[in-house]
Amino acid sequence: MTDRPLLFLDIDGVLNPVLPADGFTGYDILDFTVLLSATHADWLGELSDRYDLVWATTWEHEANRHIAPLLELPTLPVVEFSSYQDQPDDPKLPVLDLLTGRKWAPILRFAAGRPFAWVDDVMPDRLVRRSRWRRDQLLIPVEPGRGLRRHHVDRLLERPPARRRMSLPSRRAAAARKAGSDTPAGLRVEAPGATVRDAAGAPEPRRPA
């Protein structure tokens, strides 16, 4: 599995800001007026050197048909939200976060354990705060009136998410050696069918036996 991080990109409020500004051109797309910037196209080119870009927008596959060519982007992978079926082991969010966090479970499923960044104008504050303590996740909320700004790009480039380090507690290692255990210290063994979750409530991917 590649360690290259993913970058999940929203469109409305991020690449298509709510308020008109200098440097943006309006396009009539699917009965909407969309504001796009050549500067954003340049920034996304920079980010693609460090990240694998993924659409995480309610535009879904329409983003590749209509938005990507205008931003000089290739066809990108797409997180499908409209067809997503809730899974029993999806992370549980508080009721107040259900609306703003509706993309969270599909994004985690798509990432499948890879480090990732997520840029959006709608995301739960608690997830943003929690991501600050994680090495493998970087959540960047964007103000929808202004959209993606240079300081967001600089932050993404300065600290790309990376795979979490695996620790081997010395006491467990010593205990395992003393007991002659067949199970390496620090390796968790779960009962069949059990679900393992990480600190953010995301199901950890299982490795084949």
DSSP string, 42-92: HHHHHHTTTSEEEE-STTTTHIIIIITGGGT-----B---TT----TTSPP
**Mean pLDDT, contiguous 10-residue spans, the chain (209 residues):** 88 95 94 96 97 97 98 97 81 70 88 95 89 91 96 96 67 48 39 43 48
pLDDT, residue 202, reads: 53
Find tokens 């010395």 and name the residue.
170
pLDDT, residue 80, reads: 94
pLDDT, residue 133, reads: 86
pLDDT, residue 132, reads: 86
Instruction: Decide: 119 and 152 in contact? Cβ < 8 Å.
Output: yes
The region, left, alpha or beta by phi > 0 then psi within -120 to 50, assigned to residue 195 is beta
**What residues are paired with 177 via a beta bridge?**
none
The answer to whether the pTM exceeds 0.85 is no
Instruction: Decide: 138 and 118 in contact? Cβ < 8 Å.
Output: yes
Give the residue among 82, 83, 60, 66 at the shortest CA–CA distance from 29.
66
Burial of residue 107 (CB within 10 Å: 0-12, 13-18, 19+) is buried
- Measured distance CA(38)–CA(114) in Å, rounded: 30
